[in-house]
Structure 1
């Protein structure tokens, strides 16, 4: 009887082992898709994992959703002319990147200022100069922006990197940014994004209510983070900026000359300037935070490092500061009324630790409790990985 049971067990084991080896074959890596992306996209489209080229100013129409699968790389060539990816109001862009398989938009030459980056238009409120509720974009598209849907949804950009952006498009007024958001609403997800070595700002908001989380601005020529037109995102956190080689303000904050009752909120911020970094045009743009044109907001748990003086070729010394207030209106209406708050701030390697005015006529004195230094601030907390690694360099370190 024991012999029969042993034989039965042996036979069963062999059968199970046979099933296991045949039912669980070694996984294979899918072959990347290829193709060109151009023109206006007028119907829903999903780009499977692959390597694509983007040519021209590609626009996603209203009512259309475009999706990129994880691990996809989209390459642009500045030799083809003006290039950008534009999400029009009512359209949606979804990038389904992951920490180890980000969606990457890059440019063939690897030179800053080689394309227009990602530009998104939403339908959320704005407040432009003069108090108006709409404006015309300065990106070369000259599109009207501004709406009334605070929770408007323009899609979901997750674990996505934009490299070498910052070119002008057509007869645009300014260079474009890595990511540009015109009146984008809070229903839009912006998470784990990288703007890498562009020729203008890393991120710029023109009004809207969208928030940005877990973001990196690395090596961009102008400001790491910039906004105007009454941007009021409320749940922003984990912003990391590293300015190296060439770069202006860590954060340029303005409200288009409107004394707003509202402002944005950002927590867990790290602003770092590398040794030897110079402002873009050799001037006085050497501060970590710059507030102007009635800019305000609440900022907490902040690391500021490396904003020392800059001396240009003519020997003029520009003083680096943790916080600079550019104009009297911002000082009178925002600083003095506690509409600007910088809390739990740790400052190192910076010439002016206390906030200053851009001129001696602007005497800055933050009310008690609105500018608070701390030795225990930790700044942004980000986990590295493929999403934040370029040419073998971990951008989070």
Structure 2
């Protein structure tokens, strides 16, 4: 579960990590009052959306006058921000954070995330903080430290980071405290990612988290009712909200081919096959290895609710789940759909023949394939044929 920058900074303050002084604007009548309270010559206006790349997309504006501030806030508030992470539809801006300007001396990148390969929490740091951290030329500057959860962020780890970054000894205490507090924030809140970019040293010698991003484990939210209250449903699409309601693993993508698959590995392979066939997947949708009639029907409902979807590829391996149960879910969902989309189905495993027989009897328009590559190629072909008709 993602939260907004201003919420992430409130969380950082709980753990004694300094952030710029700021205030939130959600209504037009708050604009002048908030801007007049800014005590620095420069203010930073920041659109609050669940996406990165805001700076390059015009979602972060530096202003030097009250008039410029009013203009910037009014331009952003109530609009949609399109970045390289939002897709073409963008994300709604329902709140704007106004922060006092900071005299930046040096920028660093700082993050904690789960490393499933090493079964550790990985600390990532770089001297190349700021908007261009993702640029190829900065890839080599990122240092990684794997922290054993049973040991934690001990002083020796933080000291090693300070040495590797060649920080002045006077800055070590601030870094050691920040790293240890950030690690506590990560573990105590069941986070998947905490990112501070940039973590800056001001010309006055202060260390400040200038921007923050936090993502929490959905599966652990029952332990954190206070985090659930921070969720902003307006930042999610209808499909994402439906998937959360149905408890399905769903990620919206930019393509036009809806994918319904059981198992995350098979879902990834299906998306790769679609791209190799010249198509673009509209989503990652895993109905689970032990899918039921209900979960399959709900998954198809999500795909048909997505206006971008021009065709559907269903790829199911009947290992734990029987294919005839999957077929029942497909029929249940398609019975109530008015949209006419090409549907290609690949079923393998338990009760495959019975499932295909039932689906064929339901609709002769459903098409069946025997392997993944043929299925991906066929759904791409059918969509292209409709575009040319």
Same fold, judged at TM 0.5 (above): no
Q: Give the strand-richer structure, 1 or 2.
A: 1
Which structure has more helix as a fraction of its residues?
A: 2
Normalised to the residue count of structure 2, the TM-score between the two structures is: 0.30
Query: Could you state the TM-score of these two structures normalised by the residue count of structure 1?
Result: 0.30
Higher relative contact order (CA 8 A, sep 6+): 2
